[in-house]
Structure 1
Amino acid sequence: MTILIGLTGWGDHTTLYTDADKKKNKLATYSSHFPVVEIDSSFYAIQSQENYDKWISETPDHFQFVIKAHQSMTGHDRITRTIQEAKQLFQSFLESIEPVSKASKLHAILFQFPPWFDVRVAHIQKLQKIKQLLPNQPIAIEFRNQTWFEAAHRQATLDLIKKNDWIHTICDEPQAGEGSVPTVLEITNPTTALIRMHGKNVHGWNRNGRGGEDWRNVRYLYQYNAKELTEWATYIRQLEKMTQTVTVLFNNNSGGDASNNAKELIQLLHISYDNLNPRQLDLFE
């Protein structure tokens, strides 16, 4: 069994980098600390194969990427597309990430749906279309609408994800109304569990779209304390018994807390990673 702990992105985690690192390749430094990372830039633009080739070359052999699906694939852009347009879109995305797949570094494609993506026939049909368009890919599903996990729908939601061999994304996030989901400690895939740690900032969670981009500086502003991380360490050990790999990604970085919290959790779980990139300081030890 394997536990992979990392962060959502590698660019803004200032506690990881010296001034010299900031002028060099941050991903190479990042991958001397953690074995997995989430690529967020793919949500905003389908990345070039050249970008992926670069990221592959900068990381060690067993490093893993969780790649976010483009916002047009999750419906964030609210544009209705024909079947042919959808096929072309999904094909373009698949072609872009092909180098990651070939390098055996694709951990999952993360579909993070918008807060208005609730339980209704049209949205269930959209999920089924995603299965048709990406039949053999490691797909992780993350909802941001609590209707999927209301008592009347919870089991059906988990059954649907399991039926499609998808990974149910377990979330730790503020309970801030309909646009948030509870922590559901359920496994739907025999090989992979994915946990995303968003923090518990209730005040900042629902500020999306208000005040320009300032909401980003508030939404994920949270530092997990020792008690919370110890509780999650217990959950992870339980989940570890039910699947081959448990992957944990910290997203609470508005205040720069994600990397420290991730390292604290690694220590709590007594994990030591082999096959990371060498750290510069190790040369002098």
Structure 2
Amino acid sequence: MGDILVGTCSWTDPALVRSGWYPKGQRDAEGRLRHYAGRFPVVEVDASYYALPQERISRMWAERTPDGFVFDVKAFSLLTGHPARNGVLPDGMSADAQDSGVLDELWARFTEGIGPLRRAGRLGSVLFQFPPWLRPGSRGEQILSQTARRTAGWPIAVEFRHPDWWRPEQAELTSALLAEHGMAAVAVDMVQGLPSSMPPVTPVTTSRLAVVRFHGRSTAWGRGSKEDRFRYTYSDGELAEWLPRLRALAERAERVHVLFNNCCGDASVRAAEQLTHLIRQEVSTCPAPSRSPRPPHPQ
């Protein structure tokens, strides 16, 4: 049975900082990370999507967190086919990702930025969240192949945003494609019934890692503000529904990363705490196995 590591998709979200979850005296950059890492074993770095990660910052993250703590780093926007915000590229670089020279430089800088985490054994995965306009087909396969070449030796997780990737008639081909490249598929929990809703599937495409991201079930998904889209509080019942699915993932993968992206106030950390409690409660009530199980959350 693999380890189940539960955390959130950010520890620096302004709404979380304002919520009061961080105690007084631990609200600076170092204090926030140390407080978070004392309670969860994994976190997703979302800032790296908006701006290239810096080697100096990554080194400080590794130094400020305990052994066993890992970071899932979100790939920079231009590396996944998304546009970049104005002014985020260094040295006046063009944001034209079609320019091979620009793209080579972006990859080099991203690689350098996450280097300290890789060398310290703190890189849980690099998340490639592809845009909703990337559909299955030759173009999508080409992009995955190019990404695999650029990231050889990295732990990679892939989240698609176009539902066709996981439709019943396509799911087996998608799983095989990711498995061929050694990439972990990302399962999502989100509102269903919308044209953009991703099917509720939980594929395992590499024995090393499986990832689940909880986006919340707001009906404002795909419209409204970020707060509207991600404002959602999970109930115990909704989280408990996932226990058998997480257990099934852990039976096939060495590690399962479960990350809450309902980043509005303290909703994500509270949901992560709820799920952690439910997992531990389930473990404590199960009959003793023939060997000691690994805890879901190393501290």
**Deviations, residues 237-280 of structure 1 (Å, cap 9, x unaligned):** 111111111110011122421111111111111157443xxxxx
Are 1:49 and 2:55 an aligned pair?
yes
Q: Which residue of 2 aligns with 1:269?
A: 279
* Aligned AA (1:264): Q
Evaluate the alpha carbon distance shift between residue 159 and residue 178 of structure 1 in structure 2; reply closer, same or farther with a 3 A threshold: farther
The aligned amino acid for 2:57 is: N
1:216 paired with 2:203, answer no
Distance, in Å, in 1 between the alignment partners of 2:63 and 2:53 is 16
Q: Is the 1:201–1:219 Cα contact (8 Å) retained in structure 2?
A: yes
2:204 corresponds to which residue?
Answer: 187
Q: Does 1:16 align with 2:15?
A: no
Residue number in structure 1 paired with 2:33: 27
Q: In 1, distance between residues paired with 2:123 and 2:260?
A: 18
SS of residue in 2 equivalent to 1:157 = helix
Measure the CA separation in 2 of the matches of 1:60 and 1:217: 32
Instruction: Specify whether residues 51 and 229 from structure 1 end up closer, same or farther in structure 2 by C-alpha distance, changes over 3 A only.
Output: same
8 A Cα contact 1:115 1:178, kept in partner: no
**C-alpha contact 2:75 2:128 (8 A) present in aligned 1:** yes
Please report how far the alpha carbon of residue 137 of structure 1 lies from its aligned counterpart in structure 2 after TM superposition: 1.0
Q: What per-residue deviation string (whole Å, max 9, x for no partner) do you get for residues 128-167 of structure 1?
A: 1111111221110001110111233211111101111100
Shift in Å at residue 43 of structure 1? 0.3
Whole-angstrom CA distance in 2 between matches of 1:101 and 1:80 = 25
Superposition deviation, residue 9 in structure 1: 0.9
Q: Which runs of 5+ in 1 are unaligned?
A: 276-285
Contact between 2:3 and 2:296, CA under 8 Å: does it hold in 1? no
Q: Secondary structure at the match of 1:187?
A: coil
Q: Secondary structure at the match of 1:153?
A: helix
- TM-score (normalizing by structure 1): 0.89
Aligned partner of 1:40: which letter? D
**Inter-partner Cα distance in structure 2 for 1:123 and 1:179:** 18
User: Which moved further from structure 2: 188-197 or 127-136?
Assistant: 127-136
- Root-mean-square deviation (Å): 1.7
Partner secondary structure for residue 26 of structure 2 = helix
Match of 1:36 among 34, 38, 42: 42
Which residue matches 2:289?
A: none
2:3 alignment partner in structure 1: 2
Q: Percent identity between the aligned chains?
A: 31
Structure 2 residue matching 1:228: 3-state secondary structure: helix
Q: How does 1:67-78 map to 2 (within 5 A)?
A: 67-77=73-83
- In structure 2, do the counterparts of structure 1 residues 90 and 227 end up closer, same or farther at CA, with 3 Å as the change threshold? same
Matches of 1:165 and 1:66, distance apart in 2: 16
Q: CA contact under 8 A between 1:115 and 1:180: conserved in structure 2? A: no
Determine the C-alpha separation between the residues in 2 that align with 1:180 and 1:102.
37
1:117-196 → structure 2 map (5 Å cutoff): 117-175=134-192, 177-196=194-213
Q: Which amino acid aligns with 2:222?
A: N
- State how far apart, in whole Å, the 1-side matches of 2:239 and 2:133 are: 30
Give distance in 2, aligned partners of 1:82 and 1:48: 23
Could you tell me which amino acid in structure 1 is paired with residue 61 of structure 2? Answer: W
1:74 maps to amino acid = T
SS at match of 2:169: coil
